Chains A and B, each alone.
Chain A
Amino acid sequence: MPTPFFVLEVALSGLLAGLLYSLVALGFVLIYKASGVFNFAQGALVLLAALVFVRATEIFDAMGPATVGFWAALLATMAVMVLVAAAIERFLLRPLVNQPPITLFMATIGLTFLIEGISQMIWGSRVYTLDLGIPDEPWIIHGLYIGKIDLFAAAVAIAMVIALAVFFQFTRIGRALRAVSDDHQAALSIGIPLNFIWVVVWSLAGMAALFAGLVWGAKLGVQFSISVVALKALPVLILGGFTSIPGVIVGGILIGVSEKLAEVFVGPVVGGAIESWFAYVLALAVLLVRPQGLFGEKIIERV
């Protein structure tokens, strides 16, 4: 019989891991809300951001002190992600405007392979280490083991969500983004330039990818499997609903916690590693009961 203490510890590590899924899922939601495009390439963006960051750190570290190097590399990578967003808008979204969603979905699949292919050309396929300067030893609070890097990930995810919430709620561009996600035709009719909006959301998704890439890269090393791990964001999306930012946070936590608990307590019973597929089963179960996800945006219907 496991002690409650052990259960708590497992749940906590699941919670922290789950927030990382949320971070990736956030990128999906931003793009989906603003343009109805399901961006399959979000995982590839995570990989790309991590690789660019590693290269930028190398360059800046050679030039000066490490702390300056970190921030310079971070800013440089952000700039690259914005450029990538602009390029995607110009060469992918703009030519395909007014095409059905499935066409755009296919295009993002193509984009995934393009990004991965180009990354492989530039970086090869070796595993890079990414050092955030956070020691890999856990904190022990009252005997509870908490990974420092997990804690950092959680803090980043929460900070990002708060920043986004403020941006959406209180800025002119944030308001325009919400308008576009409500009715893009109407937004167009009052002079909101959709091209610009797309660059903004893809840039924001790029930032989410960057932070996810940093944490994942620091934990697992920067390697191509990152873009596969990112697919864990899918069940999070199904759980949280494709249009809800609070939804992906809660969804990520639910997936992270339940998958860890299942792995530890159910896994031995069924005799296998269930962590890799448990999330999908959970998502399917939710899908059957609530097709719009737990937090899918309510469609306002006046009667």
Chain B
Amino acid sequence: MVPISTQGQGDRSERGAPALLEVANVEVIYSHVILVLKGVSLEVGKGAIVALLGANGAGKTTTLKAISNLLKSERGEVTRGSIKLEGRSTTDVTPHDLVRQGCIQVMEGRRCFQHLTIEENLLTGAFARSNIGKSVREDLDRIYQYFPRLKERRKSQAGYTSGGEQQMCALGRALMSNPRLVLLDEPSMGLAPQVVEEIFDIVGNLNRSTGVTFLVAEQNTNIALRYASHGYVLESGRVVLDGTSDQLLANDDVKEFYMGLSGETRKSFKDGKHYRRRKRWLA
């Protein structure tokens, strides 16, 4: 198997500049007793698209919420490890301040404000910004360029728009905060393959044209790895595999367990003999 590394994500050079996001050995406990993340480490380079893969309950959402500091409101807590945004620790930074620093999460299930119109939803995304007024208007137009469908539906109540439109709305709303890093949680959830393709296409476009970095949690391994440069595979709260997308796509275990390409009966990833070969993470 090819050696696995995280080098070369986006424009992050090997000159030793810190990654945009560094997650090291993070442990998360819910309600003081439920240990969910057991030492997750990952890096996201500036300007990259990185995929966070794993089955149901692997801990993808928990990892993203640990980064965006949304765990507290769910009685979850980071009990060990560190999370750094551009070298600065995010412990004790409120979600409001994190958004102002450029890190925003698009939550699983889209979570648009159902009784607000699409345009109002987008505008709420600019709430945390300090520059309001004209530049907000300009950004709104920019969002409409990326999502022409949203422009058509701008006066509709979000609750009455389609799943795909709501996903676009949630993404557009996050972009209205002028982020540098978007934590995108399962954008493909419940959407038709064609719509999923459309969403990822927009993500790819945004990434290329504006340099926004994405960490995308996905169960849809295939499409996520097509757009991402790197991927991490989570299982039961641990990173069991990581590498460039090409490496992961070529990996037999990934093929078998996450893309269903092998005809063998399904078994846990842990049974695979390659499992132990994974890179040992920072002590």
Q: B70 contacts which chain A residues (CB < 8 A)?
A: 185, 188-189
Decide: A186 and B113 in contact? CB cutoff 8 A. Answer: yes
Q: A300 contacts which chain B residues (CB < 8 A)?
A: 114-115, 157, 159-160
Is A190 part of the contact surface with B, judged by Cβ < 8 Å? yes
Decide: A178 and B128 in contact? CB cutoff 8 A. Answer: no
Contact of A191 with B104 at beta-carbon distance under 8 Å, contacts A175-B123, A175-B124, A185-B70 already known: yes
Q: A176 contacts which chain B residues (CB < 8 A)?
A: 124, 127
Bitwise, B103-128 to A at CB < 8 A (1) or not (0) is: 01111000111111000110111011
Is B68 part of the contact surface with A, judged by Cβ < 8 Å? yes
Decide: A193 and B96 in contact? CB cutoff 8 A. Answer: yes
Is B95 part of the contact surface with A, judged by Cβ < 8 Å? yes
Option from B120, B128, B132 in Cβ contact (under 8 Å) with A191: B128
Bitwise, A262-299 to B at CB < 8 A (1) or not (0) is: 00000000000000000000000000000000000100
| Docked complex Cα distance between A297 and B159 (Å) | 13
Bitwise, A158-195 to B at CB < 8 A (1) or not (0) is: 00000000000000100110110011011111111100
The interface size of chain A toward B, counting residues with CB under 8 Å, comes to 21
Decide: B159 and A191 in contact? CB cutoff 8 A. Answer: no
Closest to B128 in A: A191
Is A97 part of the contact surface with B, judged by Cβ < 8 Å? yes
Decide: A192 and B105 in contact? CB cutoff 8 A. Answer: no
Is B98 part of the contact surface with A, judged by Cβ < 8 Å? yes
Decide: A191 and B107 in contact? CB cutoff 8 A. Answer: no
| Docked complex Cα distance between A302 and B156 (Å) | 14
Decide: A189 and B95 in contact? CB cutoff 8 A. Answer: yes
Q: A188 contacts which chain B residues (CB < 8 A)?
A: 70, 73, 95
| Docked complex Cα distance between A151 and B173 (Å) | 45
Is A3 part of the contact surface with B, judged by Cβ < 8 Å? no
Decide: B132 and A190 in contact? CB cutoff 8 A. Answer: no
Is B219 part of the contact surface with A, judged by Cβ < 8 Å? no
Is B174 part of the contact surface with A, judged by Cβ < 8 Å? yes
Closest to A196 in B: B96
Q: B73 contacts which chain A residues (CB < 8 A)?
A: 97-98, 185, 188
| Docked complex Cα distance between A35 and B72 (Å) | 17
Bitwise, B156-197 to A at CB < 8 A (1) or not (0) is: 010110000000000001100100000000000000000000
Decide: B127 and A172 in contact? CB cutoff 8 A. Answer: yes
Decide: A178 and B115 in contact? CB cutoff 8 A. Answer: yes
Decide: A190 and B128 in contact? CB cutoff 8 A. Answer: yes
| Docked complex Cα distance between A300 and B157 (Å) | 10
Which residue, of A97, A186, A190, has the highest number of chain B Cβ atoms within 10 A? A190
Option from A97, A98, A183, A302 in Cβ contact (under 8 Å) with B113: A183
| Docked complex Cα distance between A179 and B132 (Å) | 18
| Docked complex Cα distance between A98 and B74 (Å) | 7
Is B150 part of the contact surface with A, judged by Cβ < 8 Å? no
Q: How far is the CB of B104 from chain A (nearest CB, A)?
A: 6
Interface positions, chain B 50-103, Cβ under 8 Å from A, are 68, 70, 72-75, 94-96, 98-100
Decide: A178 and B116 in contact? CB cutoff 8 A. Answer: yes
Decide: A189 and B132 in contact? CB cutoff 8 A. Answer: no
Decide: B107 and A185 in contact? CB cutoff 8 A. Answer: yes
Bitwise, B193-217 to A at CB < 8 A (1) or not (0) is: 0000000000000000000000000
Q: A185 contacts which chain B residues (CB < 8 A)?
A: 70, 73, 107, 111
Q: B94 contacts which chain A residues (CB < 8 A)?
A: 193
| Docked complex Cα distance between A270 and B121 (Å) | 54
Closest to B136 in A: A172
Closest to B174 in A: A190
Decide: A191 and B116 in contact? CB cutoff 8 A. Answer: no
Contact of A192 with B128 at beta-carbon distance under 8 Å, contacts A179-B116, A183-B114 already known: yes
Decide: A190 and B114 in contact? CB cutoff 8 A. Answer: no
Q: A175-B116, A185-B111, A189-B70 are in contact. List 10 more A-B contacts (CB 8 A).
A: A175-B120, A175-B127, A182-B114, A186-B111, A186-B112, A189-B68, A190-B125, A190-B177, A300-B159, A302-B160
A-B contact pairs, 9 of them (CB 8 A): A98-B73, A179-B116, A186-B112, A186-B113, A187-B113, A188-B70, A189-B107, A191-B100, A297-B115
